[in-house]
């Protein structure tokens, strides 16, 4: 990637400390570019590291913030100046953060994305405190912060908007009338919403009020505001957005577009640039409208204008403007060869945009295609439910010119349930879209994460999905391609064989008492030191439903050789060794060599083999279960993830039907309804409203109905 020239006119013109002034940055610094020397990064995780990287590259001193659960996180450790805010939610405490910035002698604050980045009050207070807010003027954030107000401004500026009701009347009956006028299906959206939250599709008048209440409740919890808008729901839409940049001198450019149509829960998973199968005229029109949108609110800095593109009609409509740098900005960096954080700093310093529209287009003509995959701790097979926990093992693909990893974690770190479960972003580029997808798949096959469940296996399947490869993307892609994206393949016997070999060798080297290791069985015919062990293993299907357990017998036949029997088949004389430093089990079978990363966490095994992850569980033999007095938990409904109980929908002694809601939990700002797996009677409500539960904690115990 090309490094920036540091324009001569910023260099050391002014001293580091600024005198407090209450004028907005836009007027104060338009004619006097001033080099920033110290910045406070008001964010966490990969974005905090990302901003810090560019700032350090240009000699800017950075101060980072952290909270109690983040004390040892990578972003907190990345700067010698790191301040503890304490409470997990304190990243939202703008007043305190401004005070810290002043005390630390910082000249500017970079808000990253999420948290305070689109908070106009915070941006204004920064400016009034004499700090440079590295983002647009607060007036522009305010204008775009409301999904309804922004649509009025856009309509006035000649930018097409989706038909809908964006007004103040919030009477449910009135909103329902508006929905009827627009025509079903409609989409309800929290006017203050973001991150896909506070949004519900309504297919018919019958479900209108239910969906309205549910959208409002989520909006209240996430944004403290429940004002809703109703708009036409586009049934086969693409999400196409334009990266814009404006400076304080009236220049405004579009740095190409990104297609972010591959989404779950209205949140992006894959983002790419350029958008596939897009007519060149439409592309130019999108850029033009995006610039018009930015200019209409006197924009400065990095922003994204999001459009919804109707695949049925070829029309596009303004959806919203995100007045910040976005999660997916690296895609644009890959196809332009520019550092957008650097551009943000230049604009904040009062400098001019480094490239003209024409230069950007010339640049993009040579850079090919880029794709970003968001790596999340979540379970795609369980409706992409967030997961958390310690990263027991982490191996990332090699970074190169065309493979970039923006991560906030290293092995051993904890993915906290307090925050967004994004672990990393993997960004690749290639001369063509096909080449980029190919590279993404190859990189994902090298990506190993054990601990929390991730979406890596799912994204690998996306990479080979024929319609995705052909560029036929739309926001409903995942739903429409369910059978191929969520296949139910049986595991090959070699996976079980490798698991059992790993366990055998591991327990032989450590030999602690381990009830899972199975009974030492007879070893007749071999020397006394050659043991045989039997392991009961079960595939952990991602959808939580358990399969059959399989028994695997390992018989050692010489110091490094084993016979492995699964069902009735025996693999003879496998030579196998386990390297503790790399956790790699290398086995030579009669027919093949297998190299497997073997990670054990108590009764859970994670294996990486031939580019795929496998998760297995050891089942305790019955004798050990009895000996240890293990309690039967089959009649408890367990918390599927760390969570807080929001509502309890049943009472003790009450009858429940299969599928009936039992409790509603909240995890990572998302509500999940826990339903009864069977017909029965509630025996005990174990946890009440407000309780914080670990994954696996019983929530409700019930007695199955006798039939
Ligand atoms: P993008 O459009 O860049 O994908 P998202 O809408 O997914 O951005 O949000 C980016 C990040 O900001 C995510 O981590 C998300 O959880 C967080 N976020 C989005 N909106 C809000 C909000 N209103 N309050 C707090 N965090 C938010
Ligand atoms: P957020 O602030 O949460 O990002 P957006 O308004 O940007 O909310 O919408 C998020 C996603 O929801 C879009 O990317 C798109 O997939 C879907 N969406 C939004 N509006 C519509 C609509 N009118 N019809 C169909 N899908 C929509
Ligand atoms: Mg959006």
Q: Are residues 54 and 105 in the same domain?
A: yes
Domain membership of residue 2 (yes or no) is: no
Q: Are residues 664 and 520 in the same domain?
A: no
Report which protein residue has its CA nearest ligand 2's atom 12: 266
Best residue among 141, 194, 266 to mutate for probing ligand 1's pocket (most ligand atoms within 8 Å of CB) is: 194
C-alpha span between 685 and 656 (Å, rounded):
13
The residue with greater pLDDT, 654 or 372, is 372
C-alpha span between 653 and 673 (Å, rounded):
20
pLDDT-derived band at 3 (thresholds 50, 70, 90) equals very low
Q: Are residues 682 and 560 in the same domain?
A: no
Report which protein residue has its CA nearest ligand 2's atom 20: 319
CATH number at residue 594: 3.30.700.40
CA torsion, points 503, 505, 506, 510, in degrees to nearest 10?
130
**Would you say residue 707 has pLDDT above 60?**
no
Q: Quick check: 116 and 122 in contact, CB under 8 A?
A: yes
C-alpha span between 309 and 293 (Å, rounded):
16
Q: Are residues 517 and 442 in the same domain?
A: no
Domain membership of residue 383 (yes or no) is: yes
Distances (CA, A) of 279 to 41, 286, 437: 40, 11, 21
Q: Are residues 452 and 391 in the same domain?
A: yes
The residue with greater pLDDT, 546 or 422, is 422
The residue with greater pLDDT, 366 or 519, is 366
| Gap from CA of 260 to ligand 3 centroid (Å) | 10
Q: Which atom of ligand 1 is nearest to the CA of 193?
A: 23
C-alpha span between 629 and 92 (Å, rounded):
47
Best residue among 117, 319, 478 to mutate for probing ligand 2's pocket (most ligand atoms within 8 Å of CB) is: 319
Domain membership of residue 245 (yes or no) is: no
The pLDDT assigned to 624 comes to 56
Domain membership of residue 151 (yes or no) is: no
Q: Which of 623, 658, 681 is the last residue of a domain?
A: 623
The pLDDT assigned to 665 comes to 86
Q: What is the pTM of this model?
A: 0.82
The pLDDT assigned to 21 comes to 35
Q: Read off the pLDDT of residues 549-593 as tens digits, 9 standing for 90 and up.
A: 889 999 999 999 999 999 899 999 999 999 999 999 999 999 999
| Gap from CA of 420 to ligand 1 centroid (Å) | 9
Quick one: 173 exposed, middle or buried, by C-beta within 10 A (0-12, 13-18, 19+)?
Answer: exposed
User: What is the mean predicted confidence (pLDDT) over 624-629?
Assistant: 54
Q: Are residues 450 and 500 in the same domain?
A: no
Q: Are residues 463 and 588 in the same domain?
A: no
Q: Number of structural domains, the chain? A: 5
Domain membership of residue 252 (yes or no) is: no
| Gap from CA of 268 to ligand 3 centroid (Å) | 9
CATH number at residue 660: 2.40.50.100
The pLDDT assigned to 360 comes to 97
Please count the other Cβ atoms lying within 10 Å of the Cβ belonging to residue 10.
18
Q: Which of 619, 599, 596, 618 is nearest to 609 (CA)?
A: 596
Q: Are residues 82 and 167 in the same domain?
A: no
Residues 6+ apart with CB under 8 A from 408: 44, 45, 46, 47, 48, 49, 73, 74, 75, 422, 423, 424
Best residue among 42, 44, 113 to mutate for probing ligand 1's pocket (most ligand atoms within 8 Å of CB) is: 113
Where is average pLDDT lowest: 200-214, 398-412, 617-631? Answer: 617-631
Report which protein residue has its CA nearest ligand 1's atom 10: 114
**Would you say residue 28 has pLDDT above 70?**
no
Q: Which of 598, 623, 648 is the last residue of a domain?
A: 623
Q: Are residues 477 and 522 in the same domain?
A: no
User: What is the mean predicted confidence (pLDDT) over 376-391?
Assistant: 93
Report which protein residue has its CA nearest ligand 2's atom 23: 233
Q: Are residues 564 and 643 in the same domain?
A: no
Alpha helix stretches (DSSP H) within 58-148: 74-77, 94-103, 120-128, 138-145
Q: Which of 623, 657, 675 is the last residue of a domain?
A: 623
C-alpha span between 354 and 351 (Å, rounded):
9
**Lining residues, ligand 2, CB within 6 Å:** 162, 187, 189, 193-196, 231-234, 237, 239, 263, 266, 306, 308, 319-320, 475
C-alpha span between 91 and 631 (Å, rounded):
42
| Average predicted confidence (pLDDT) for the chain | 89
Domain membership of residue 454 (yes or no) is: yes
The pLDDT assigned to 512 comes to 44
**Which residues belong to the active site?**
324
Q: Which ligand is nearest to the CA of 266?
A: 2
Q: Quick check: 406 and 425 in contact, CB under 8 A?
A: yes
Domain membership of residue 700 (yes or no) is: yes
| Gap from CA of 387 to ligand 2 centroid (Å) | 24
The pLDDT assigned to 632 comes to 46
Handedness of CA 237, 673, 270, 292 (dihedral sign): positive
Best residue among 51, 91, 195 to mutate for probing ligand 1's pocket (most ligand atoms within 8 Å of CB) is: 195
Q: Read off the pLDDT of residues 132-182 as tens digits, 9 standing for 90 and up.
A: 999 999 999 999 988 888 999 999 999 999 999 999 999 999 999 999 999
C-alpha span between 151 and 167 (Å, rounded):
11
The pLDDT assigned to 217 comes to 94
**Would you say residue 29 has pLDDT above 90?**
no
pLDDT-derived band at 13 (thresholds 50, 70, 90) equals very low
| Gap from CA of 101 to ligand 1 centroid (Å) | 23
pLDDT-derived band at 516 (thresholds 50, 70, 90) equals low
**Would you say residue 188 has pLDDT above 80?**
yes
Q: Which atom of ligand 2 is nearest to the CA of 189?
A: 6
Determine which helix (DSSP H) or strand (DSSP E) holds 271, and give its type and residue range: strand 267-273
Q: Which ligand is nearest to the CA of 475?
A: 2
Q: What angle (nearest 5°) sits at the alpha carbon of residue 531, between those of residues 527 and 533?
A: 160
In sequence order, the β-bridge partners of residue 321 are: 305
Q: Are residues 59 and 77 in the same domain?
A: yes
Q: Which atom of ligand 2 is nearest to the CA of 232?
A: 23
| Gap from CA of 266 to ligand 2 centroid (Å) | 6
Q: Are residues 446 and 567 in the same domain?
A: no
CATH number at residue 479: 3.30.470.20
Domain membership of residue 615 (yes or no) is: yes
Question: DSSP code of 491?
Answer: P
Q: What angle (nearest 5°) sits at the alpha carbon of residue 2, between those of residues 403 and 410?
A: 40
Q: Which ligand is nearest to the CA of 261?
A: 2
Q: Which of 520, 538, 517 is nearest to 528 (CA)?
A: 520
Q: Which atom of ligand 1 is nearest to the CA of 326?
A: 3
Report which protein residue has its CA nearest ligand 1's atom 17: 114
| Gap from CA of 194 to ligand 1 centroid (Å) | 6
What is the domain range of residue 175? 163-232
| Gap from CA of 304 to ligand 3 centroid (Å) | 9
**Would you say residue 4 has pLDDT above 50?**
no
The pLDDT assigned to 50 comes to 98
- In percent, how much of the chain has pLDDT > 70? 89
**Lining residues, ligand 1, CB within 6 Å:** 113-115, 194-195, 223, 267-268, 322, 326-328, 420
């Amino acid at each position: 990637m090309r490094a920036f020239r540091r324009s001569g006119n910023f260099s050391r013109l002014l001293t580091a400390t600024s005198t407090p002034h209450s004028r907005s940055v836009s007027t104060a610094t338009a004619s006097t570019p001033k080099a920033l020397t110290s910045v406070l990064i008001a964010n966490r995780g990969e974005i905090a590291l990302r901003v810090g990287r560019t700032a350090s590259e240009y000699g800017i001193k950075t101060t980072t913030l952290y909270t109690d659960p983040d004390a040892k996180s990578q972003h907190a450790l990345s700067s010698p100046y790191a301040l503890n805010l304490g409470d997990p939610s304190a990243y939202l405490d703008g007043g305190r953060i401004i005070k810290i910035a002043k005390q630390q002698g910082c000249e500017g604050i970079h808000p990253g994305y999420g948290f305070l980045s689109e908070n106009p009050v915070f941006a204004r207070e920064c400016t009034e405190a004499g700090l440079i807010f590295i983002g647009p003027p607060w007036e522009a954030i305010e204008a775009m912060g409301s999904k309804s107000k922004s649509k009025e401004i856009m309509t006035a500026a000649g930018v097409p908007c989706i038909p809908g009701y964006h007004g103040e009347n919030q009477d449910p009956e009135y909103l329902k009338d508006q929905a009827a006028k627009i025509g079903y299906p409609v989409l309800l959206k929290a006017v203050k919403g973001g991150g896909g939250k506070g949004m519900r599709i309504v297919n018919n008048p019958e479900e209108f009020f239910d969906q309205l209440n549910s959208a409002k409740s989520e909006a209240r919890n996430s944004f403290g505001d429940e004002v809703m808008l109703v708009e036409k729901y586009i049934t086969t839409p693409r999400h196409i957005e334009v990266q814009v940049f404006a400076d304080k001198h009236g220049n405004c450019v579009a740095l190409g577009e990104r297609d972010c149509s591959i989404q779950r829960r209205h949140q992006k998973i894959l983002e790419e640039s350029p958008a596939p199968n897009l007519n060149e005229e439409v592309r130019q029109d999108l850029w033009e409208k995006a610039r018009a949108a930015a200019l209409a609110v006197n924009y400065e800095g990095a922003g994204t204008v999001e459009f919804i593109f109707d695949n049925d009609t070829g029309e596009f409509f303004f959806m919203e403007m995100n007045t910040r740098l976005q999660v997916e900005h690296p895609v644009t960096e890959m196809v332009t060869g520019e550092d957008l954080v650097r551009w943000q700093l230049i604009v904040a310093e009062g400098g001019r945009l480094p490239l003209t529209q024409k230069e950007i287009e010339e640049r993009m003509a040579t850079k090919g295609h880029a794709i970003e995959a968001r790596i999340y701790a979540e379970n795609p097979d369980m409706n992409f439910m967030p997961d958390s926990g310690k990263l027991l093992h982490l191996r990332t693909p090699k970074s190169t010119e065309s493979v970039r990893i923006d991560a906030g974690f290293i092995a051993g770190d904890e993915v906290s349930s307090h925050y967004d479960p994004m672990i990393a972003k993997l960004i690749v580029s290639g001369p063509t879209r096909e080449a980029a997808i190919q590279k993404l798949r190859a990189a994902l096959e090298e990506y190993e994460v054990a601990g929390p469940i991730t979406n890596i296996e799912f994204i690998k399947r996306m990479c080979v999905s024929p319609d995705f490869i052909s560029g036929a993307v739309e926001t409903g892609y995942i739903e429409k391609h369910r059978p191929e994206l969520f296949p139910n393949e049986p595991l090959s016997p070699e996976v079980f064989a490798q698991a059992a070999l790993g366990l055998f060798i591991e327990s032989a080297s450590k030999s602690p008492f381990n009830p899972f290791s199975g009974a030492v069985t007879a070893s007749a015919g071999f020397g006394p030191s050659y043991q045989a062990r039997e392991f009961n293993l079960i595939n952990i299907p991602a959808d939580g439903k358990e399969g059959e357990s399989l028994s695997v017998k390992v018989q050692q036949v010489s110091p490094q050789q084993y016979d492995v029997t699964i069902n009735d088949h025996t693999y003879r004389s496998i030579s196998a060794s386990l390297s503790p430093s790399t956790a790699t089990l290398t086995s030579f079978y009669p027919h093949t060599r297998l190299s497997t990363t073997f990670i054990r966490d108590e009764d859970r095994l994670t294996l990486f083999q031939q580019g795929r992850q496998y998760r297995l569980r050891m089942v305790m033999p019955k004798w050990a279960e009895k000996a240890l007095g293990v309690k039967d938990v089959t009649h408890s409904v367990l918390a599927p993830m760390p969570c807080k109980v929001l509502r309890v929908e049943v009472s003790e002694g009450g009858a429940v039907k299969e599928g009936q809601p039992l409790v509603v939990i909240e995890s990572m700002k998302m509500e999940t309804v826990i339903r009864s797996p069977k017909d029965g009677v509630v025996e005990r409500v174990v946890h009440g409203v407000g309780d914080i539960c670990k994954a696996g904690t019983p929530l409700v115990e019930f007695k199955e109905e006798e039939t």
